A and B are shown apart, each in its own frame.
Chain A
Amino acid sequence: EAGVTQFPSHSVIEKGQTVTLRCDPISGHDNLYWYRRVMGKEIKFLLHFVKESKQDESGMPNNRFLAERTGGTYSTLKVQPAELEDSGVYFCASSHYSGRSNEQFFGPGTRLTVL
């Protein structure tokens, strides 16, 4: 079974530009999560989709970040315009079941550098 995949693996952009990150969850997983790790800090939650619906956006830092999940399959996270503090590793995770267990499986991440 294929794991969570993310594209691109790395992205280097200039401040003010736009970047779009993509995540393909494990097939059949209705739950999709975005997390971010900035330098020297712990991994922080950004948002949670259940199928195509945003279940929880409480971690989104500001309105420069826009996440979508078309048809409840893959998801994109757009940063527009990017700022220096957006640099970090963006992880996507998916889970099958939202019950007590809620085991989440992570993708390899996209390393974003904003210059």
Chain B
Amino acid sequence: RKEVEQDPGPFNVPEGATVAFNCTYSNSASQSFFWYRQDCRKEPKLLMSVYSSGNEDGRFTAQLNRASQYISLLIRDSKLSDSATYLCAVNAWEDTGRRALTFGSGTRLQVQP
């Protein structure tokens, strides 16, 4: 089983739709969680950190569910410019002593006009 798993998609949604992605992680001691956005042939760009209480940034909302070991990303009112691959990344430094991020393989989102 992979340490971090994501549905590869693609998720094809119309403009204005709400879409949600989940990412599951296997190490229950993980405590740092992030969502990155990656455009084709570009670098991952940090979208948001995911806090225990959940956090929101404009149209984007991230949630953490420790009991079920997953994080989620909700995008409201999708724009064409949201089309990208969304990567989740996890770190368990308190458990492993390592700062390395473990990435999922990404979920591709295609927003259609």
Contacts and interface: CB of A to CB of B under 8 A. Distances in A.
Chain B interface size, under 10 / 10 to 19 / 20 to 34 / 35 or more: 20 to 34
Contact of B100 (A48, A91, A103, A106): A48
A51 to B, nearest CB: 13
A43 interface: yes
Contacts, number: 58
Given A42-B104, A42-B106, A56-B100, A106 B44 contact: yes
Nearest to B106: A42
A31 interface: yes
B22 to A, nearest CB: 16
Which of B45, B46, B91, B101 is the most central at the interface, judged by chain A CB atoms within 10 Å of its CB?
A: B101
Contacts of B57: none
Given A41-B105, A101-B32, A106 B99 contact: no
Interface of A: 31, 33, 35, 41-45, 48, 55-56, 58-59, 91, 95, 98, 100-109
